[in-house]
Amino acid sequence: MCLAIPHRILRLFDDKRALASAGPVETEIRVDLVPGLEIGDVVLVHAGFAIERLLEEHGQEIEALWEEVRRMAGTGHE
């Protein structure tokens, strides 16, 4: 039940509520668990509440691990 779905913020009603979309579906969500959200931000929504802003990049650890996997499993290129 810890499912969380990425949504894009379309409109901020006040400091607690926003309209957000996941694909074609638009839903009202609560945004008060993640301070400072702006229109256009992509957030993870769990049980009707945004719980975090999503970043575009995967992070360094995952990049480094992919390098290691490629080296180990032998292709050496993308």
Partner 1 sequence: MNDTRQRIALLSKALDLLTDRPIKVMEVCGTHTVSIFRQGLRSLLPPSLKLVSGPGCPVCVTDQGEIDAAVSLAGINGVTVATYGDMLRVPGSGSSLMNERARGRDVRIVTSADQALEIARNEKTRLIVFVAVGFETTAPSTASVILDAHRDRISNFTVLDLHKAVPPALEALASDADIDLDALLLPGHVSVILGLSPYGFLPERYGIACAVAGFEAEEIMLGLVEVARQIKEGRPRVASLYGQAVRAEGNPFARSLVDRVFEPGDSSWRGLGEIPLSGYALREEYSSMDALKRLDISIRRTPPPDGCSCGEVLRGVMTPRECPLFGNLCNPSHPVGPCMVSGEGSCAAHFRFSAGGDDPWKR
Angstrom distance (rounded) from CA 27 to CA 78:
38
Angstrom distance (rounded) from CA 62 to CA 65:
5
Angstrom distance (rounded) from CA 43 to CA 59:
17
Q: Is 50 within 8 Å of 34 (Cβ atoms)?
A: yes
The residue ranges that bind partner 1 (CB under 8 A) are 1-4, 30, 32-35, 44, 46-49, 51-52, 54-62, 65-66, 68-70, 72-75, 77-78
Instruction: Tell me how far, at minimum, the Cβ of 24 lies from partner 1, in Å.
Output: 18
Instruction: Tell me how far, at minimum, the Cβ of 74 lies from partner 1, in Å.
Output: 8
Instruction: Tell me how far, at minimum, the Cβ of 21 lies from partner 1, in Å.
Output: 16
